[in-house]
Chain A
Amino acid sequence: MPERNLTPDISVKFAGISSPNPFWLASAPPTNCGEQVMRAFDAGWGGAVWKTIGDPITNVSSRYSSLDWNGQRMMGLNNIELISDRPLEVNLHEITEVKKRYPRQAVIASLMVESKREAWHLIVQQSEDAGADGLELNFGCPHGMSERGMGSAVGQVPDYAEMITSWVKEKARTPVLVKLTPNITDIRSVARAAKRGGADGLSAINTINSITGIDLDTFIPRPNVDGKSSHGGYCGPAVKPIALNMVQQVQSDPESCLPLSGIGGISDWRDAVEFILLGCGTVQVCTAVMHYGYRIVEDMADGLANWMREKGFATISDFQSLSLARVQDWKHLNLNYKIVARIHEEKCIGCELCYTACWDGAHQCIHLDRVGPNSGRHATPAMRETLSKQSIAMTPIPKLDHTSSSAGKEPYPTPLARIPRVDEAECVGCNLCALVCPVEGCIAMEQVDTHLPSQSWEERTGNPANPARKCD
């Protein structure tokens, strides 16, 4: 039974770094300077990964572009900003200042310098002398810096990543995190290299190469820099599923598994819980803060604590990794498990989105045949539309329509003719209808007993090495 009176402890110790909560700001514009980081800590952030320091660069204007979706802003955000454009000594001085005033919060220095041992030794020394609680090696930045042999140029070559990590570890006294780029065929290859190089933890994922869109009047892709654009790094809610998959991959592989700080589209406490369920020890946030400001952390902490209280989790580690074992290779899934869609008629509003989705996007097993003659053949969506368009409708005028339709005889609020019916024998249990249904709980996917024992593809073919058939 969940303990209702529990006051959950949301503090974490991550790869040796203590933090009052698992919510860190990712290395990005929200952590550009000390003044910002201090305001963030005042708002409740548990840690901040400083905007990457190194040799100062020159940025362009403009720098960001976004993907809006159905009236919602910034479902995805893209940037072509480089690392910090402020002098190194200013950043280091401010790190010292922040740590002096906020000893409980974690300050992580994100680092990127040219691939020379001495250069890395020097910046590690400088950062730790400034008081950083840990170091994050930026092997992920996908734009600009990579053209100069840094960022993802390192993160895409396991040997380089391992070498630089080991250089850093020669010098570092604080925990070393390696930030991974998703712009690679298998993120585990670099995660393993970082582990071999001695990393204490990982951060994943960095941004994904992207072009967000093109201005249809000027034909210039966004963001526009004097008539030209460049690919940038994509982040925000749109990338969360990609990030979760990569987190799972890294955490499921003994050769790459390390304390992991999850990054990628985390916008609220529910996103954070998902990353922790797949093994993350902290989470890092950027886009949601760029969109709404530091204040969002209040509900992240509040929502997390309320959820933990409801579930009876006293600490973060109580639920960390709980979902990890639930992700398996496809060949281990039970082929004899069957669910079918069941429409709860009393909740159906008659939008027929499940009907058109099933006909055009799935398996043609949802029908509109509860009313009217049943010819044994199902009308296609086009036939139904044609029929409706041929119908004759009139504005109902009580005075003229003496035969006022004695409606209200329907068993459900929605006319029976508009409530779809699932042919359960044909339903493959794909979920699509439930996904498109706008009404919560109207279409339930319910298990049906196949009276067959659990059997996976691997078990059926009897050969673990047997390659799966062509996947289409």
Chain B
Amino acid sequence: MSTINTQQVNPELVARFPEIHPPFDEVAAVIEANRCLYCFDAPCIAACPTHIDVPRFIKKIAQNNLRGSALMILDANILGASCSRVCPVDVLCEGACVYHRYNKQPIEIGRLQRHAMDAFFRNGSALAQKAHEQRAGRVACIGAGPASLALAAELRQRGFAVTIFERKPLPGGLNTYGVAEYKLRSSDSLREIEMIRALGVDFRFGAEIGGEAAFAQLEREYDFVFLGIGLGAMHTLKIPGEHLPGVIDALKFIEGYKTGGKLAVGRRVAVVGAGNTAIDAARAAVRLGAEDVQILYRRDEPSMSAFLFEYEHAKEERVKFHWWTQPVAILQSQNHSGIEAIECIRVQAGLNGSLVKLSDSEFRIPCDMVIPAIGQSPLFEFLEACRGVRTENGRIQVDRTTGQTSHPKYFAGGDCVNGGREVVDAVADGKRTALAVAKLLENKHA
């Protein structure tokens, strides 16, 4: 197996996307670590979907046992490095810190975790093996995103064989392609996955799975199949002009600048939607040189799905917000080379929460780039062909503790199950499923 190419780092990208949470200095990390109260049964552990033992890994940093600290993190969360950068810690571990109720200064858990993980990767990233012998039992994963990676790492460490099928040329899913570069660089994501590959996980890139025959073959060759397929393409606006050049959905836009070398951006950019991905796209547009970036959202501030801290960051970067604004058309420029404006109307909340258009409220926002960011749709086509695995609203239904679907050979986790949450949620799903699958494999091959 060849190692994963962790890519040449693009210096312009690095310059335009400085990290929003820079690493701790060695001394600062110890000072911060010493602030931790070492709570018993700490709320930060419970708040973390992967239940990283936060006080213990922090104590190890304070006591200069950085390898021990990193291994403690990785034992709970194999993607501890990327999670330390991308996790919305304000609503997870740091949000649960008891210091909110005392001196109002929660421990910077995310940055401390990054400190331990950076040291680990600097020093060769040698994982501890949980079992030394190879064991009978083969598992296939569809999709090389965080959920599959977590499952694969855990099963490999226990000696089982895992193959990951990925239709894209690089592993990592949104970790590699879709996370804003100032949070997580693609090269850092790939470095982390190389550590998992080095455990002996077999990756098959460019491998699109679909259709009865393909599933039947997987079932023959593997004991179990894990669906870590994530979500599908982004929703489209379904308004005139949405296919004009100059309209690109947020994930394609982010993927383009992160891994496709596409650093060009419009001068005036309109982002439609107010979720975290919309904010990622808006901030990226600012960093890539857009002069004017506006977010259009059809409801108000309290209704937006972006985290509060993401909203605050966007405002700091002079992203403008238009509330109660619904796009109705994208207008082509005079010379037909692109677009010149997005036409919108004002809406307001009607009874039972539905939106009511305000008459004669049309207005235009001049722009030369429109980025729809109104969520991803489920992979309906894939799911319909998937052996009768039960779904609801496009989400795969699983037993929460084992990840098992309605089809006993199939397990699932991550966005395709939870509708689109965080990396850490996908890792938790993968890890829990791995433990359940390991037990089944042990029984089956006993």
* Distance of B353 from chain A, by nearest CB (Å): 12
Q: 1/0 contact trace for B12-50 toward A, CB 8 Å?
A: 000000000000000000110010011111110111110
A388 to B101, CA, bound (A): 21
For residue A414, which residues in chain B have a CB less than 8 angstroms away from its CB? 98, 101
CA–CA, A396 and B41, complex, Å: 21
Q: How far is the CB of B425 from chain A (nearest CB, A)?
A: 5
CA distance A351 to B35 in the complex (A): 13
Across the interface, B40 reaches (CB within 8 A) one of A70, A355, A398, namely A355
Q: Tell me if A352 and B101 are in contact (CB < 8 A).
A: no
Chain A residue numbers with a CB within 8 Å of B91 are 395-396
Chain B interface extent, by class: 35 or more
Residue contact B424 to A388, C-beta cutoff 8 Å: no
Residues A388 and B45 in contact, CB atoms below 8 Å apart: yes
CB distance from B311 to the nearest CB of A (A): 12
> Helix, strand, loop or mixed for chain B's interface?
loop
- Knowing A381-B41, A400-B419, say if A395 contacts B88 (CB, 8 Å): yes
Given the interface pairs A350-B98, A356-B40, A394-B421, the reply to whether A388 lies near B62 with Cβ below 8 Å is no
Given A70-B62, A349-B98, A393 contacting B41 (CB threshold 8 A): no
In the complex the two chains form, is A394's CB within 8 Å of B418's CB?
A: yes
**Chain A window 106-149, contacts with chain B (Cβ cutoff 8 Å), 1 for yes, 0 for no:** 00000000000000000000000000000000000000000000
A388 CA to B49 CA in the complex, in Å? Answer: 11
**A413 touches B (CB below 8 Å):** yes
- Interface flags for A354-369 (1: CB within 8 Å of B; 0: not) read 0110000000000000
B183 CB, nearest partner CB in chain A, Å: 15
Q: What 1/0 flags go to A383-395 for Cβ under 8 Å of B?
A: 0110011011111
* Residue ID in chain B nearest A352 by CB atoms: B40
Measured in the bound complex, the distance between the Cα atoms of B421 and A124 in whole Å is 82
Cα A127 to Cα B102 with chains together (Å): 57
CA gap between A396 and B40 in the complex, in Å: 23
Q: Is B418 in contact with A351, judged by CB distance below 8 angstroms?
A: no
Task: For the complex formed, measure the closest distance between the CB of B36 and the CB atoms of chain A, giving whole angstroms.
Answer: 10
Let me know if A399 is at the binding interface, CB within 8 A: yes
Is B422 part of the contact surface with A, judged by Cβ < 8 Å? yes
What are the interface flags for B391-404 relative to A under an 8 Å C-beta threshold, 1 for contact and 0 otherwise?
00000000011000
Task: Say yes or no: is B51 at the interface (Cβ < 8 Å to chain A).
Answer: yes
* CB pair A392 B400 closer than 8 Å: yes
A353 interface residue per 8 A CB criterion:
yes
Q: A439–B37 Cα gap in the complex (Å)?
A: 11
Among candidates B41, B101, B421, B432, residue contacting A397 with C-beta atoms closer than 8 Å: B421
Q: Report the Cα distance A438→B98, complex, angstroms.
A: 11
In the complex, what residues of B have CB within 8 A of residue A397's CB? Answer: 305, 420-421
Asked if residues B49 and A393 are in contact (CB atoms below 8 Å), the reply is yes
Task: A355 to B45: give the CA distance in the assembly, Å.
Answer: 17
A418 interface contact, C-beta 8 A: yes
* A contact patch SS: loop
Q: How far is the CB of A217 from chain B (nearest CB, A)?
A: 12
Contact status B422-A391, CB under 8 Å: no
Q: How many Cβ-Cβ contacts under 8 Å join chain A to chain B?
A: 82
B329 contacts chain A at the CB level, 8 A cutoff: no
Chain A residue with the shortest CB-CB distance to B91: A396
Contacts of A356 in B (CB 8 A): 40
Chain A residues positioned under 8 Å from B421 (CB to CB): 394-395, 397, 400
Q: Is B92 among interface residues, defined by CB-CB distance under 8 A?
A: yes
Interface residue? B200 (CB, 8 A): no
Give CA–CA (A394, B98) in the complex, Å. 19
The B67-100 residues at the A interface (CB cut-off 8 A) are 88, 91-92, 98-99
Cβ–Cβ contact A395 & B425, under 8 A = yes
Q: Does A71 contact B (CB under 8 A)?
A: yes
Set A349, A353, A385, A394: member contacting B102, Cβ < 8 A: A349
B38 touches A394 (CB 8 A): no
Q: Is B275 an interface residue (CB 8 A)?
A: yes
- Nearest CB on B from A385, distance (A): 5
A71 touches B31 (CB 8 A): yes
- With both chains docked as a complex, state the minimum distance between the C-beta of A314 and any C-beta of chain B, in angstroms: 38
| Complex Cα gap A355–B62 (Å) | 23
Question: What's the least CB distance linking A371 to chain B, in Å?
Answer: 14
CA distance A352 to B40 in the complex (A): 5
Interface 0/1 of A370-387, CB less than 8 Å to B = 000000000001001100
Contacts of A355 in B (CB 8 A): 40
What separation, in Å, do the CA atoms of A396 and B93 have in the docked complex?
Answer: 12
Q: Kindly identify which residue among A398, A400, A438 contacts B420, using a CB–CB cutoff of 8 Å.
A: A400
**Closest residue to A420 on the B side, CB-wise?**
B40
A197–B91 Cα distance when bound, in Å, is 72
- Given known A-B contacts A393-B46, A395-B421, A353 and B41 have beta carbons under 8 A apart: no
- Known: A71-B34, A395-B49, A395-B91. Contact between A353 and B39, CB under 8 A? yes
CA distance A71 to B428 in the complex (A): 34
Among A71, A392, A394, A438, contact of B37 (Cβ-Cβ < 8 Å): A438
A388 to B91 CA separation, bound complex (whole angstroms)? 18
- Convert A436-457 into 0s and 1s, putting 1 for each residue whose CB lies closer than 8 angstroms to a CB of B: 0011000000000000000000
Flag if A398 contacts B98 (CB, 8 Å).
Answer: no
Report if A389-B51 is in contact (Cβ < 8 Å); known contacts: A71-B31, A413-B101.
yes
Nearest CB of chain A from residue B431's CB, rounded to whole Å: 11
Instruction: Give bound CA distance, A120 to B310, whole Å.
Output: 77
How distant is A405 from chain B, measured CB to nearest CB, in Å? 12
Please list the 9 inter-chain residue pairs (A to B) with the smallest Cβ-Cβ separation, ordered nearest first: A71-B34, A352-B40, A399-B305, A356-B40, A351-B39, A349-B98, A349-B101, A395-B422, A70-B34
**24 A-B pairs with C-beta separation under 8 A:** A71-B34, A349-B98, A349-B99, A350-B43, A351-B39, A352-B39, A353-B40, A356-B40, A381-B40, A384-B41, A388-B45, A388-B46, A389-B45, A392-B401, A393-B46, A393-B48, A393-B51, A394-B49, A394-B418, A395-B88, A395-B91, A395-B424, A397-B421, A439-B102
Q: Contacts A352-B40, A393-B51 known; list 12 others, CB within 8 Å.
A: A71-B62, A349-B98, A349-B101, A350-B39, A393-B46, A393-B47, A395-B49, A397-B420, A397-B421, A399-B305, A418-B43, A439-B102
